[in-house]
């Protein structure tokens, strides 16, 4: 089975490779502008959009017996793929949530400063959603989506720490304006849950789902 990661995130690429999977990367051009909703459904829906954008670039039509987490989505498309080739598309999305406010990537440095100031000295949640789409030849066999939540405890930050961190440029492409695997590691005093989920991919849960799909098909 050929795995296709529908994400341009270098962190997700590193985690998937670290887990021992061989895969190719096809960056999704999915529209990520959706109405705010519960964070778990939000990241699952966005991960679905990312994966489906790449699936549709290959051109896949719906098959029978699909376990579909989003039955309202239209899948009637044409396809260009070898008749017997199995493909597994993986889409993912991550958001930070603080007191019911969903924090995506900062719009600018001022927005990053606002997010870090709000997160300082508090516990927040990181949600990552993953959607797996399994296709064979001209048919979509299965879609499955899930999300993980991790509690993250950030110590109190000084104004200088926030300023210096933003000046490094690291926060600007990250949900919640920080990367736990980077310079912001010194800001995090504890977590409850999957560390890799905070980085951007819940590897343990993902591996379980991949094993299930490969064993069933």
- Mode of pairing for the β-strands spanning 139-154 and 188-192: antiparallel
Query: What pLDDT, on a 0 to 100 scale, did the predictor assign at position 28?
Result: 82
Query: What pLDDT, on a 0 to 100 scale, did the predictor assign at position 76?
Result: 38
Please state, for a pLDDT cut of 70, what percent of the chain lies above it.
Answer: 85
Within a 13 Å sphere around the CA of 175, how many CA atoms are in the beta-carbon half?
Answer: 24
Domain residue ranges of the chain, discontinuous segments joined by +: 2-216
Query: What pLDDT, on a 0 to 100 scale, did the predictor assign at position 36?
Result: 61
**2-216 CATH fold:** Maf protein (3.90.950)
How do residues 37-78 score in pLDDT, each as one tens digit?
799 999 999 999 999 999 988 866 544 333 444 444 444 333
Q: Does the annotation mark 93 as catalytic?
A: yes
- Mode of pairing for the β-strands spanning 86-98 and 123-136: antiparallel
Query: What pLDDT, on a 0 to 100 scale, did the predictor assign at position 84?
Result: 73
Query: What pLDDT, on a 0 to 100 scale, did the predictor assign at position 73?
Result: 47
Give the three-state DSSP class for 194.
Answer: coil
Once rounded to an integer, what is the mean pLDDT over residues 9-28?
A: 94
> What is the spatial distance between Cα 172 and Cα 179, in angstroms, rounded to a whole number?
10
Q: Which of 117, 90, 108 is nearest to 173 (CA)?
A: 108
> What is the spatial distance between Cα 115 and Cα 68, in angstroms, rounded to a whole number?
35
Query: What pLDDT, on a 0 to 100 scale, did the predictor assign at position 140?
Result: 86
> What is the spatial distance between Cα 118 and Cα 107, in angstroms, rounded to a whole number?
16
- Among candidate residues 31, 33, 40, 93, the one labeled active-site is 93
Helices 159-167 and 109-119, packing angle to 10 deg: 140
Per the prediction, the chain carries an average pLDDT of 88
> What is the spatial distance between Cα 75 and Cα 63, in angstroms, rounded to a whole number?
10
How do residues 113-158 score in pLDDT, each as one tens digit?
999 999 999 999 999 999 999 998 878 889 999 999 999 999 999 9
């Amino acid at each position: 089975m050929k795995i296709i990661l529908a994400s341009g995130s270098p962190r997700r690429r590193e985690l998937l490779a670290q887990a021992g999977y061989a895969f190719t990367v096809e960056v999704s051009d999915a529209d990520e502008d959706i109405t705010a909703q519960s964070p778990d459904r939000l990241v699952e829906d966005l991960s679905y959009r990312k994966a489906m954008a790449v699936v549709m670039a290959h051109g896949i039509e719906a098959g029978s017996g699909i376990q579909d987490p989003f039955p309202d989505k239209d899948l009637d498309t044409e396809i260009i793929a070898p008749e017997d080739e199995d493909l597994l598309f993986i889409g993912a999305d991550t958001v930070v949530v603080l007191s019911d406010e969903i924090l995506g990537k900062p719009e600018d440095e001022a927005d990053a400063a606002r997010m870090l100031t709000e997160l300082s000295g508090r516990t927040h949640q990181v949600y990552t959603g993953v959607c797996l789409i399994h296709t064979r030849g001209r048919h979509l066999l299965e879609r499955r989506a899930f999300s993980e939540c991790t509690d993250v405890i950030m110590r109190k930050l000084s104004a200088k720490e926030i300023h210096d961190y933003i000046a490094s440029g690291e926060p600007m492409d990250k949900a919640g304006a920080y990367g736990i695997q980077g310079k912001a590691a010194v800001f995090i005093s504890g977590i409850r849950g999957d560390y890799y989920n905070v980085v951007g991919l819940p590897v343990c849960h993902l591996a379980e789902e991949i094993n299930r799909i490969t064993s069933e098909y």
